[in-house]
Each structure stands twice: as C-alpha cells, then as structure tokens.
A and B are shown apart, each in its own frame.
Chain A
Amino acid sequence: MAHAQGGGYYVPDYSYWPLVASAGLACMGAGGAGYLQGLSWGPYALSIGLAIMVVVFFGWFGSVIREGLSGLYSDQVDVSFRWGMIWFIFSEVMFFGAFFGALFYARMLSVPWLGGADPATSKVLWDSVALNWPTAGPGMTGLEFEPMGAWPLPSINTIILLSSGVTLTIGHHALKAGERGKLILAMWATILLGASFVSLQAFEYFEAWTHMNLQLDTGIYGSTFFMLTGFHGAHVIMGTIMLTVIALRCMRGHFNPDHHFGFEAVAWYWHFVDVVWLGLFVFVYIL
C-alpha cells in the first residue's frame, strides 16, 4: 500500500522490519553482555539476535531492492540514499578516528611520559624504565614479543587492497558503458582480491599470535595493533559480503548505466575501507 507522494517522493506506508531489527539488536546487546558475564543464556540470546539480523538484512534490503526495481525511487529518493551513505561513512571515519587517536596518544604522550619524559609520572610509577615504541608498557617489561613489520605480508596486502580499488573502478566504468561481461569479471576479481586480503590478514594474525607472542593483551602495542587492524578487517569482511551481493545483482541485471546507486554505495564503502588501510599501513606498520 505504498504510495508515491506529490513530486514523486516515495514514502513507504508501514514496515515491520525496523521493529524486528530492534528486537534483533536487543537480543544481541543483552546476549553479548550476558555472554561476557558468563551467564548461561548469553550465547543463546546472542545467536538468536544474530540470526534475526541476518533475516533483517535479507528482508529489509530485499524489499528496498524490489521497490527500486519496480521504479518507485525517483531521483530525489536517490539523493536521500546518497546523503545517507555519505554520512554513514563519515560516522565510520570518526569511529576509526577514536582508535587512531588512542594510538597517537600512546605513542606521542603516554609511553614517553611513562618512560621518563615526565619525571612526575615515571618517578611515582615505574622509575628508570626506558620505553621505546613498540612497547607492551612499563609493567610488562618481562614480556618478550616481536612487533609486526611492514614487510612482507602488510605490503603485499596493501598492493592487493589498492588493486581491488582499481578493479572495482574498472567494473564501474564497464557498468556505465554497458559492458556486462567486463563488469561481472571485474566484480569477481574485486571480491577475490578482498578475500585474499582477509586470508593473508588471518595468516598474519596466526603468525603474530603463535610465533611472535604478539597478542591482544600485549600491552598498548598489542591493543592498538589488534583493535585497529581487527576493526579494519571486520570492515573488509563486511565489504566483501556487500560486493558479493552486488556482483550477484549485476549478474541478474539489476543495474543499468544510469541508475545503480546500490553499486555506488558499496563502491564508496570499499574505497573508504581502502583509505583506512592506507592510514593503518603508515601509522601501524611503517612508522
């Protein structure tokens, strides 16, 4: 019973997906908290919440896709979606900003202070401990670990992720030129590159964890290393899933050269993930 408004703006009449999604996040929040506290029902509630969210993703996005295909979205609706995606990505930038801020603070301020640059701090806490980045902190000096260098895996991963940005752009141009075969090939190449990145990153984590004694609790270096690269990796996984959906939609012929915002939104997201990686590569691995 949806109706297009005057001027052609599509306002859906009612939808149960927001309510279901809220119930899903409620289960995930309560279940995740219960799990962390070791409560017996925690894992069940968390799993149910995740299952609900999967259903929501299929259902809600499915209805948006159907509405889009049936031509309910005018150019003005398209612009709303664009603003929505832009500001969502901006919020993600700020989320990563908090963790980059923590990294900069640790490297520029707290580690030097604890290492003697601020006598008032170091005298009271750990006197005469020399600290140099990368460090696990003054209270864990007995801890031996090997920091993660920029070569070889992270550099290879940089090349892989940058190449995936190129293949995706080739796909976009192919879509605009109406070259279907090239588009689909470029999409699957992008997905393959994304999956390779995730696999290599998993291998890097395995190496760090088992052979380099570099773990999440390896002081501030381990904390910032794993939280920054971990959240980035989670975004790459999410982006790869999104690219897969878009690739399948390309194969079904959902997009035409003039109207393909779904494609563009995912492309924006992928480039954002790419840029975050460049920041990580510079500040976590090289410097």
Chain B
Amino acid sequence: MSATSHDVAHGHEHSQGFIRRWLMSTSHKDIGTLYLVTALIALFSGGTMAMVIRAELFQPGIQLVDPYFFNQMTTLHGLIMIFGAVMPAFVGLANWMIPMMVGAPDMALPRMNNFSFWLLPVGLLLIASTLLMPGGGPAGGWTMYPPLVLQTGQAFPFLIFGIHILGISSIMGAINVIATVLNMRAPGMTLMKMPMFVWTWLITAFLLIAVMPVLAGAITMLLTDQYFGTTFFNAAGGGDPALYQHIFWFFGHPEVYIMILPAFGIISEIVPTFARKPLFGYASMVYATASIAFLSFIVWAHHMFTVGMPLAGELFFMYATMLIAVPTGVKVFNWVATMWRGAMTFETPMLFAIGFIILFTIGGFSGLMLAIAPADFQYHDTYFVVAHFHYVLVTGALFSIIAAVYYWLPKWTGVMYNERLGKTHFWLSVIFVNVLFFPQHFLGLAGMPRRIPDYSVQFADWNMVSSIGGFGFGLTQLLFAYLVIRSMSGRGEPASARVWEGARGLEWEVPSPAPHHTFETPPEVR
C-alpha cells in the first residue's frame, strides 16, 4: 500500500493520543495488539524460566539453583506459558482477525474487551510477584494439587486470586467472541461460510465459558480449605485430595483443547492459501472440531490413571480418550488432502504450518500411548509426559501462533517481514525443538521422573542433548522478536492488500495495514 493510505489509516488513531489509544481503547485491533505484545513478553519470561530448568538439568547433580527454586521455576513456567503466553496470544489473534473475517466493525462488546485485556497483566503480575515474597513462589506444580500446594507460604492466596482474575478475563473474552460471531456477521456470512479460524474460536469460547468457572470453583475450595477450615480435599473430614484432581482436570482437559482448537483454525487458514486450493472437507472440519470439544468433557481422568479409580472408570476414560484420535485424524487428513496436488509455495507461515502438522501429529501419537491405561502406569509423571505435552504445546500451539503472526503481520503492519530471516527462524526452530524434546521421550521411557532437579547418571547424555536444544531454541526466538519488532516499527517492503497470492477471505479485501475501522458498512458476502 502507498504511504498516503498509511497516513490516512493512522490519522484517526494519532488524534486519540497515546493514553486514550492504548489504555482506554475500544478498538479490537489495538486491544489485539496489546494481547499479542503481552503474550510475547510472557513467552520470554516463561522461556527464561525454561532456560533455568534446562541449565540445571544440563548435568546430573544440583548444579545452579536450589531445588526449591527449581520447583518454583517448573510451576511458574507452566502457569505463565499457559495463562500468559498461549491463551492470550490466541485471544489477541481472535481480537485482530474475527471482526475482519466476519465483516464486523469491531468486537460486539468493545469496553468489556478492554476490561478483559487489562485484567491479564493484573493476574500475571499477582502470580509473578510471588517470586519476591518470603518463602518464594508456588512450587507444587502448575496443577496446584493439594495437599502439597497448601504448603505454599505467603504466595498461596496471591496465586489463587491471580488465577481467579485471569479466569474472569478469559470468560469475558470468550463471551465477547461468541457475541461477535453470533451477532456481528456481515449479511450473507452464514455459519457454514465462516472461516475455519472463526469456527474453531467459537467452539473454543464455549469451552472457556464452560470450564474456567470450574477451575475457579476448584481453587476457591483450595482457599477455603487453607483458611476457613473446610475439608473438601481432606480425608479426615470426609473429603478427598483426588476430588481436587477430578475438578481440576474437568477444567484441565478442555483447557488443553482451548490451547489447540484455535491452532487448528490457523492451520486451516494457512494451508489453503499456500496450496492455492480451498480447504478440503470444510464441513467435516467443523464437525470434527465440535466432536473434539464434546469429547474433551468426558476424558479428564486420563490424567489420573494412577491416582486410584474404579476399573470401570479407568476403562471408560481410556476408550473415550482414544476416540479423540478419530476427529483429530480427520483434521490431519484434511490438511494433507488440501495440499495434495496443490500449487504449493513455502513461505514462512506455510513452513510453520507444515511443521505443525507433522510435529503435532507426533505429539498426538505419544498422547495415544499415554491414553492406554496400563501403559500409563509406566509413563505417568515421567519425561515421556513432558515430551508429549511439549510436542502439542510448543510445536503445536506455539508453532501455530508463530505461523499466524507471520501470516497476518503484513496485514497488521502494512510491511512484509524479512522472508530470508523468517525461513532461518523456522529451520533453526524446527531443528532445535526436536533436539530439545525428542530425547525426552527416551528419558521418560527409561524412567526419568519429571519435576525433579537431579537425576541418575544414566540419564546424563540425553539431558545434555536436550538442554543444548533448549538453549538453541530459546536463542532462536530472539530472531522472532527482532522480526516482529522490525515490522511493528514499519520497516520492510510495503505489503499489498492481498499479501499472499492464494489468500481468500474478507480480511484480505481491505488495505494493509488494515484501517482503524474496517467495516463501517458491512460487506456483502455471496
């Protein structure tokens, strides 16, 4: 786009002034940017903690940090990456893209949108502040199982209220997404014409509203058990510590789909663009997403096979979990079929999307192994589990977020990123991430337990390999930050409206950068 339209697009924003624009915003684009920037900061904060973990595990023995601090690092790494990086990044993408994709002037409830965002730093800072408190941060794992988590010191209520506030933020964000999708679509944009990203987010938003309150209930019970003498999780009073795990994972399993369904949507946008073919099996994609969401409510106890459950429960949760492979397989098949005989090119978003399809599928397969209840007795709480969920969360969720950023960054900023550096970022990432996580399968199968700062010497070699991969992967992401900041400061080749030759959809009909108010008059969708 020309410099003139760039000025026009920004004229209105500048007249608002910095404080009004960024602190009191009701613009889905500015709020989306705030979400994404916050997620990037959280990614590097949580990533720094991962570097501490991998540095400690570089060699056997206690090397660098106190074991208690190591436990704080594993706990906060999990919490910050989930609640601070992955979920907010998806909400940021939803904010930016959903109104443009459905032809709406903004999100349905713009002020509540800003409220959702500003609760995010509040909740994250409450949780992060615990590191500075007497007794340090929470160290019982991100899952906060009692009775261990009840031994947390001063940090405990700050952790609980921090998560409450993040939950309120997520619920309001999800309500906004549903109201936008159901009420703000342009004339002619029927549900079955919506882009897959919008569909997956609609279903994700439903999951969020259904399960974040359940997490709030679980941690409220932790709080009253600690301070008000209730005995929900205390067997002496007729309660059960395993009850917490049931409630937590009733939230926790839909939560993992909250972190992957939008990723499925992103991949379903990118693959057709660079294969220059429409998405194969659109309707089956929609139904597969809905099936995965439904199944996510009836599989929670597969996280608890070793905790003690009636045999019927073990079997039910094992088979229900395996069923998820069917709709997920439909999706992978559809992406591959979309690429089949397509006129493919391999720009950075496509590289990350293909990386996602292959590596996420590896994570899916290790998930199937973990779903087998008798086998899980061997794998439970080992590095095999760590390898599994990092394949689905790093090469799954995070790769999809990175792919989305490269894909839509020219639309947001009006300039192209540096393609050569983008590709470099991909290849370094994909090599290092496998060096980092693939050996953890071997460590887990050999019996190395997770969340322990020291290990037997027979695990030394693969841990060192894994740590080297970790440092390499961490450093590589600095390149990503550089490319994003470069584009945000407007440096780079001007981007056209369509940006990608094969791109289809309403967001590509407007200039790059997208004007402050995209669809003041709703577009007609045929």
Q: Give complex CA distance A83, B117 in Å.
A: 20
- State which of A18, A125, A138, A216 has its C-beta within 8 Å of the C-beta of B118: A18
Chain B residue nearest to A21 in the complex (CB): B115
Query: B190 near A: Cβ within 8 Å?
Result: no
The segment from B242-250, B284-292, B352-360, B369-377 found at the interface with A is B242-250
Known: A102-B247, A114-B235. A9 touches B184 (CB 8 A): yes
Query: B106 near A: Cβ within 8 Å?
Result: yes
- State which of B160, B179, B230, B240 has its C-beta within 8 Å of the C-beta of A110: B240
Q: Give complex CA distance A17, B115 in Å.
A: 8
Chain B residue contacts of A13, Cβ below 8 A:
16, 26
Chain B residue contacts of A154, Cβ below 8 A:
none
User: Is the beta-carbon distance between B26 and A7 smaller than 8 angstroms?
Assistant: no
Query: A222 near B: Cβ within 8 Å?
Result: yes
Chain A residue contacts of B154, Cβ below 8 A:
37, 39
Query: B307 near A: Cβ within 8 Å?
Result: no
Query: A36 near B: Cβ within 8 Å?
Result: yes
Q: Give complex CA distance A109, B242 in Å.
A: 11
A-contact 0/1 string along B14-27, CB 8 Å cutoff: 00100011011110
Q: Give complex CA distance A83, B185 in Å.
A: 14
- State which of B118, B174, B240 has its C-beta within 8 Å of the C-beta of A109: B240
Query: A192 near B: Cβ within 8 Å?
Result: no
User: Is the beta-carbon distance between B221 and A25 smaller than 8 angstroms?
Assistant: no
Query: B39 near A: Cβ within 8 Å?
Result: no
Chain A residue contacts of B75, Cβ below 8 A:
none
Q: Give complex CA distance A137, B243 in Å.
A: 15
User: Is the beta-carbon distance between A138 and B236 smaller than 8 angstroms?
Assistant: yes
Query: B460 near A: Cβ within 8 Å?
Result: no
User: Is the beta-carbon distance between A33 and B161 smaller than 8 angstroms?
Assistant: yes
- State which of A36, A80, A102, A135 has its C-beta within 8 Å of the C-beta of B184: A80
| A1-36 interface (Cβ within 8 A of B) | 5-7, 9, 11-19, 21-22, 25-26, 28-30, 32-34, 36
Query: B165 near A: Cβ within 8 Å?
Result: yes
A-contact 0/1 string along B81-101, CB 8 Å cutoff: 000000000000000000000
Query: A220 near B: Cβ within 8 Å?
Result: yes
Chain A residue nearest to B247 in the complex (CB): A98
Chain B residue contacts of A60, Cβ below 8 A:
111
User: Is the beta-carbon distance between A29 and B164 smaller than 8 angstroms?
Assistant: yes
Q: Give complex CA distance A30, B124 in Å.
A: 12
Query: A94 near B: Cβ within 8 Å?
Result: yes
Query: A201 near B: Cβ within 8 Å?
Result: no
Query: A84 near B: Cβ within 8 Å?
Result: yes
Give, as a whole number of angstroms, the nearest-CB distance from B263 to chain A: 23
Chain B residue contacts of A17, Cβ below 8 A:
111, 115
User: Is the beta-carbon distance between B23 and A19 smaller than 8 angstroms?
Assistant: yes
Query: A92 near B: Cβ within 8 Å?
Result: yes
User: Is the beta-carbon distance between B179 and A136 smaller than 8 angstroms?
Assistant: no
- State which of A25, A79, A131, A223 has its C-beta within 8 Å of the C-beta of B230: A223
Query: A197 near B: Cβ within 8 Å?
Result: no
Q: Give complex CA distance A44, B104 in Å.
A: 44
Q: Give complex CA distance A125, B238 in Å.
A: 11
Query: B61 near A: Cβ within 8 Å?
Result: no
The segment from B208-216, B386-394, B476-484, B488-496 found at the interface with A is B208-216
Give, as a whole number of angstroms, the nearest-CB distance from B245 to chain A: 11
A11, A109, A113, A221 — which one has the most chain B CB atoms within 10 A of its CB? A11
- State which of B105, B183, B221 has its C-beta within 8 Å of the C-beta of A5: B105
User: Is the beta-carbon distance between B231 and A83 smaller than 8 angstroms?
Assistant: no
Give, as a whole number of angstroms, the nearest-CB distance from A38 to chain B: 9
User: Is the beta-carbon distance between A98 and B217 smaller than 8 angstroms?
Assistant: yes
Known: A30-B158, A110-B239. A217 touches B24 (CB 8 A): no
Chain A residue contacts of B210, Cβ below 8 A:
90-91, 94
User: Is the beta-carbon distance between A137 and B236 smaller than 8 angstroms?
Assistant: yes
Give, as a whole number of angstroms, the nearest-CB distance from B138 to chain A: 12
Known: A11-B106, A90-B210, A92-B213. A216 touches B114 (CB 8 A): no
Q: Give complex CA distance A13, B118 in Å.
A: 17
Chain A residue nearest to B211 in the complex (CB): A94
Query: B126 near A: Cβ within 8 Å?
Result: yes
Query: A76 near B: Cβ within 8 Å?
Result: yes
Chain B residue nearest to A5 in the complex (CB): B105
- State which of B111, B238, B519 has its C-beta within 8 Å of the C-beta of A15: B111
Q: Give complex CA distance A223, B235 in Å.
A: 13
Q: Give complex CA distance A138, B108 in Å.
A: 52
Known: A91-B209, A105-B240. A18 touches B224 (CB 8 A): no
Query: B501 near A: Cβ within 8 Å?
Result: no
User: Is the beta-carbon distance between A223 and B174 smaller than 8 angstroms?
Assistant: no
User: Is the beta-carbon distance between A79 and B209 smaller than 8 angstroms?
Assistant: no
Known: A11-B110, A14-B26, A19-B23. A5 touches B517 (CB 8 A): yes
Chain B residue contacts of A99, Cβ below 8 A:
217, 221
Give, as a whole number of angstroms, the nearest-CB distance from B227 to chain A: 5
Give, as a whole number of angstroms, the nearest-CB distance from B255 to chain A: 13
B-contact 0/1 string along A240-283, CB 8 Å cutoff: 00000000000000000000000000000000000000000000
Chain A residue contacts of B111, Cβ below 8 A:
12, 15, 17-18, 60
- State which of B115, B221, B238 has its C-beta within 8 Å of the C-beta of A219: B238
Chain B residue contacts of A29, Cβ below 8 A:
122-123, 126, 158, 161-162, 164-165
Query: B329 near A: Cβ within 8 Å?
Result: no
User: Is the beta-carbon distance between A87 and B178 smaller than 8 angstroms?
Assistant: yes
Chain A residue contacts of B224, Cβ below 8 A:
216, 223, 227
B-contact 0/1 string along A110-148, CB 8 Å cutoff: 110110000000000100000100011111100000000
Q: Give complex CA distance A221, B239 in Å.
A: 9
B-contact 0/1 string along A200-226, CB 8 Å cutoff: 000000000000000111011111101
Query: A88 near B: Cβ within 8 Å?
Result: yes
Query: A95 near B: Cβ within 8 Å?
Result: yes
Known: A6-B520, A114-B238. A83 touches B178 (CB 8 A): yes
User: Is the beta-carbon distance between B237 and A220 smaller than 8 angstroms?
Assistant: yes
Query: A101 near B: Cβ within 8 Å?
Result: yes
Chain B residue contacts of A5, Cβ below 8 A:
105-106, 517, 520
Chain A residue contacts of B179, Cβ below 8 A:
80, 83-84, 87
Chain B residue nearest to A98 in the complex (CB): B217
User: Is the beta-carbon distance between B157 and A98 smaller than 8 angstroms?
Assistant: no
Query: B50 near A: Cβ within 8 Å?
Result: no
Q: Give complex CA distance A194, B157 in Å.
A: 33
Chain B residue nearest to A141 in the complex (CB): B236
Q: Give complex CA distance A5, B119 in Å.
A: 27
User: Is the beta-carbon distance between A125 and B221 smaller than 8 angstroms?
Assistant: no
User: Is the beta-carbon distance between B218 and A98 smaller than 8 angstroms?
Assistant: yes
Chain A residue contacts of B104, Cβ below 8 A:
9
Q: Give complex CA distance A216, B226 in Å.
A: 12
Chain A residue contacts of B234, Cβ below 8 A:
137, 139
| Extra A-B contacts (4), CB below 8 Å, given A14-B20, A26-B125, A101-B246 | A29-B123, A94-B214, A102-B221, A216-B230
- The 13 listed contacts between A and B (C-beta, < 8 Å) are A6-B105, A9-B184, A12-B110, A17-B115, A32-B157, A95-B216, A106-B243, A110-B239, A125-B235, A135-B238, A215-B229, A217-B231, A223-B224
Across the A-B interface, the 5 shortest Cβ-Cβ residue pairs: A98-B217, A139-B236, A217-B229, A137-B238, A220-B238
